[in-house]
Amino acid sequence: MILGIVTGSVVSTEKHAHLAGRKILVVQPTGPDFVPTGKAVLALDEAQAGVGDRVIVVDEGGSARLVLGDPDAVTIRTVVAGIVDSVDHSVSREAAR
């Protein structure tokens, strides 16, 4: 899974049938502190996210199909699965001890 911030959306007049009627977002991956890391990715929006939202993204086909509830959506790999309200670092600090 990837934490990220939505930075934009993609408009397309022609899409694969599995993408029809669905919003595609541009997501900038981040660390748990929401500082950008790496290259932006395109993700299908299943969380009704918008620009500026902090999100959690799945980037694996099987997980994406589970989030979509569509086992036949083999053309889809990356999906925004949820909007993040906060990240609690205390759990990771405890585990490190």
Homologous superfamily (CATH) of 2-96 is EutN/Ccml (2.40.50.220)
Per-residue model confidence as pLDDT tens digits over 14-49: 888 878 888 999 999 999 889 999 999 999 999 999
Measured CA to CA, the distance from residue 30 to residue 54 in angstroms comes to 9
Measured CA to CA, the distance from residue 83 to residue 14 in angstroms comes to 27
- pLDDT of amino acid 17: 82
* Structural domain boundaries in the chain: 2-96
Task: Give the global pTM.
Answer: 0.83
Per-residue model confidence as pLDDT tens digits over 59-94: 877 777 777 777 777 677 789 999 999 888 776 555
Output 38-42 pairs: Cβ under 8 A, ≥24 positions apart.
40/7, 41/2, 41/4, 41/78, 42/10, 42/78
